[in-house]
Amino acid sequence: MTEQPRPLIEITDLVKQYDVLPVLRKLNLTVHRGEFVALLGPNGSGKSTLLRLLCALTRPTSGEIRIGGWSLPKEINAVRAQIGLVSHKPLFYENLTATENLTFFGRLYNIPATELPDRIRQMLDEVGLIKRAHDLARTFSRGMQQRLSIARALLHQPDVLLFDEPYTGLDQLAGGILDDLLRKAHQSGRTIIMTTHQLERAEALVSRAVIIKKGVIGYDEPINPANPPNLVKIYTEVTGMVNAL
């Protein structure tokens, strides 16, 4: 029997409570290196909260989170460089150009100055923003902002991608580009957790689907992209289309 490698992400009995009602109630989840997980669930079910907990932007009320064996939030420093986040907020500055924004964040991630300009150009090219490289981010449309957010999240080539509704605002073309970027990241062994409400899209991309229901995992199954299950049907069954609010 081969020994199962230790999971990259281990979440044990995670509770997160903002005001009175807990959002996550003793949630357990393990994710292995190289998995591409779709994190699904109705509005307000705690998907964004879970991703924010995973990059230590907010603290758990109780329970344990480990990434690569490091315990969060205490030892987050050891893994920060390995995490790339796309969040509901764009996470950049509107009075800087696309290139200036990426240069700033590239420096924070200690990307060597000799490499940085090329990497930025390549990244902007990949997300289709190269023509707007020197325009202020405040002049970007919603979808262009989202593209810049994605470029920012991928610039330091993180091992763990936490993508919160990355398709929001993207047009057909950009959606296709993101599909390719995510597929490439998955093929190169990156670990991805992505929330989305586009179930068909998730079906075609991910290796595992997880549905949050009432603060715990209500469904968790691997997905075979060659023969994907009907996620829309499963989702409806699991959530019962109840309103989480």
Ligand X SMILES: Nc1ncnc2c1ncn2[C@@H]1O[C@H](COP(=O)(O)OP(=O)(O)OP(=O)(O)O)[C@@H](O)[C@H]1O
The residues binding other proteins (CB under 8 A) are 55-59, 77-78, 80-81, 83, 85, 87, 89-96, 100, 104-105, 107-110, 136-137, 152
CA distance readout (Å), 214 to 25, 31, 81, 145, 218: 8, 20, 32, 32, 8
Residue 43 touches which member of other proteins, ligand X, Mg ion, none, C-beta under 5-8 Å by kind: ligand X
Q: Which of Mg ion, other proteins, ligand X, none binds 87 (CB below 5-8 Å, type-dependent)?
A: other proteins
48 is a contact residue toward Mg ion (CB under 5 A) = yes
Shorter beta-carbon distance to other proteins: residue 108 or 232 = 108
Closer Cβ to Mg ion, 48 or 101, answer by number: 48
The least distance separating other proteins from the CB of residue 111, rounded to whole angstroms, comes to 9
216's contact among ligand X, Mg ion, other proteins, none, with CB below 5 to 8 A by partner kind, is none
Closest CB to ligand X among residues 65, 111: 65
Return the residue matching tokens 């790339």: 84
Entry field: residues in the chain:
245
Under a CB-based contact definition with an 8 Å cutoff, are residues 182 and 36 in contact? yes
Q: How far does CA 212 lie from the centroid of its chain?
A: 15
41 makes contact, choosing from ligand X, Mg ion, other proteins, none, with CB < 5 to 8 Å by partner type, with ligand X
Going across the sheet that includes 70-72, the strands are 22-31, 9-17, 62-67, 70-72
CA distance readout (Å), 109 to 67, 106, 114, 224, 233: 19, 5, 14, 35, 42
18 binds, among other proteins, ligand X, Mg ion, none (CB under 5 to 8 A by kind): ligand X
**To the nearest whole angstrom, how small is the minimum distance from the Cβ of residue 23 to ligand X?**
4
User: 73 CB contacts (<8 Å, ≥6 apart)?
Assistant: 56, 59, 60, 65
Indicate the residue among 39 and 98 with the shorter CB distance to ligand X. 39
Residue 238: how many CA atoms within 13 Å on its side-chain side? Answer: 22
Q: What is the nearest approach in angstroms of ligand X to the Cβ of residue 137?
A: 23
Say whether 136 sits in a helix, a strand or coil.
strand
- Binding partner at 81 among other proteins, Mg ion, ligand X, none, C-beta below 5 to 8 Å by kind: other proteins
Q: What is the DSSP letter of 32?
A: -
CB 82, min distance to ligand X, A: 23
- Looking only at residues 22 through 81 of this chain, which bind ligand X when binding is defined by CB under 6 A? 23, 41, 43-49
Q: What are phi and psi of 135, to 5 degrees?
A: -95, 150
Binding residues for ligand X (CB under 6 A): 18-19, 23, 41, 43-49
Binding residues for Mg ion (CB under 5 A): 48
